[in-house]
Amino acid sequence: MVDLNEVSIDTRDGLLDYLTKIRDPRKPRGICHTQVSVLAVAVCALLSGAKSFIGMGEWAAHLSQELLKRLGCRYSDRLRKYVPPSEPTLRRTIQSINADEVDRVVGEWLVPLSSDNSS
C-alpha cells in the first residue's frame, strides 16, 4: 500500500504528468472526466488495495474533496464540489486503453518511489 499523502501526484513529475503520456482513444462526445483523472483515480485505488472495478468505484466515492482535486477530478458547478469518476466510467476507460502503455508509464512513475523506500 502507498500513502497518497507521501507521493507526488499533482506536482511536477507527479502521477498526473506521467499519465498525460498515455494516448486517449475515447471519442470526445460525452466525456465528463479527463482520461488522466480517471487513470489517476484507478492507479491510486489499486495502490490503496482496491481489487476490482467495483472496489475502485467505491474507493473513489469515499475520497475527500482535497484528494479529488489533487487527482484532477472535475469540479461540478451545479453540485459545488469535485466529483469522482463512477465505476462504469473507470471500467470503460480502463478497458479502452493500452494496458502495456499504462504499465510502462506507471512503472516509470513508481521507480523513484521504490528507490526512496530502499534507502
Q: For the ranges 16-20, 24-28, 42-46, 62-66, which has the lowest average pLDDT?
A: 24-28
Question: Per-residue pLDDT averaged across 2-16, rounded?
Answer: 85
The reported pLDDT for the residue numbered 6 is: 78
Ordered alpha helix ranges (H), 48-98: 53-61, 65-70, 87-96
The reported pLDDT for the residue numbered 26 is: 87
Q: For the chain, which residues make up each domain, given as ranges? A: 15-100
Residue 7 has pLDDT above 90, yes or no: no
Residue 66 has pLDDT above 70, yes or no: yes
- Separation of alpha carbons 90 and 60, rounded Å: 10
Per-residue pLDDT tens over the stretch 36-62: 999 999 999 999 999 999 999 999 999
CA angle 3, 65, 71 (to 5 degrees): 55
- Using the Cα atoms of residue 72, residue 78, residue 84 and residue 89 in order, give the sign of their dihedral: negative
Residue 98 has pLDDT above 60, yes or no: yes
Q: Are 41 and 56 in contact (CB under 8 A)?
A: yes
CA distances (Å), origin 107, targets 62, 100, 110: 26, 10, 5
